[in-house]
Amino acid sequence: MRPEGLRQSDRVSFRMPVEASWNGNGGVEVKQSAETLLVSRNGAVVRLAERLFAGQEITLRRQREGDNWKIARARVVAEIDQDPAGFLYAIAIVDPRANFWDIEFPAPHKAQEALARLLMECSFCQRREIVYLNEPDLKSFEIRKCVARVCPLCDSPSIWIEAQPEAPATAPGAPSAAAEAAADDDRVTPRRTRRRVKARVLACIRRRGFQEEVAVCEDLSKGGISFRSRNQYPAGTRVEVAVPFTPGSSAIFVPIRIVSSQPIPSAGLFRHGAAYVRPPMDSGA
């Protein structure tokens, strides 16, 4: 049994239409359209119009090209929230080898050497993958909104762009704080000397109970970021950040802790330094 609290992969804020079905009263099959709000290697947060119960098994279907459908069995872990469009459920894919989302998730421990992360796709074959950006990649994305890398499927160099959601937002706002809750511990990346990379890219700051804010990064390192913000976050505040961030696109939020906060009176802004919080991870998943 996998210990609780171990993160098996990044979680991507990504909207994708799916069809969910299950046995209702009297054994009658119920089918309903749904959409994802978050996806991970072996699970998701999905929105459904009907209330389900924890432990209930459902079948998910996702249309690929034409009449090609991908099918997976899933289990409802918990109802975590609701909004005007329906109920939000955390679900787990029963077969961890299914790769139901057609997204490649790298081993989580590889993220420790990344400056930033994005859900990207090959412009030739549309293969999707969580890409951990190094300094040249980040600079390329900052200037051109794309990176050049070898595609494992094409087996050749190709241009990779940020993957776009497959479904429009059905309700205002992003996944709730409950949808984003995770069993992270408080281990902050050690504050040893790290090379900082200057990059003017957008970041999205998410704090439980507050509206999301789009801020501007000044520099990034493997251990954290520095950003300018309209809001002041006191030192010690825990928030989540997605960087780089493109409004309306997919986003990968990770936990950070504010370590410094300085006002910029001339601009009416605050400059913050933040360190990534490393949750416990299962590198073998």
* pLDDT tens per residue across span 218-261: 999 988 999 999 999 999 999 999 999 999 888 999 999 999 99
**pLDDT value, residue 194:** 55
φ, ψ of residue 157 to 5 degrees: the values are: -65, 140
CA distances from 74 to 60, 106, 183 (A): 7, 22, 21
* CA gap 124, 39 in Å, rounded: 23
Beta-carbon neighbour count of residue 69 at 10 Å?
Answer: 11
* pLDDT tens per residue across span 157-211: 899 999 988 876 655 455 555 555 433 444 444 444 456 788 889 999 999 889 9
- What's the whole-model pTM score? 0.74
Cβ–Cβ under 8 Å, residues 42 and 96? yes
Structure tokens at 25: 């009263």
Percent of the chain with pLDDT over 90: 59
Q: What is the mean pLDDT of residues 107-122?
A: 86
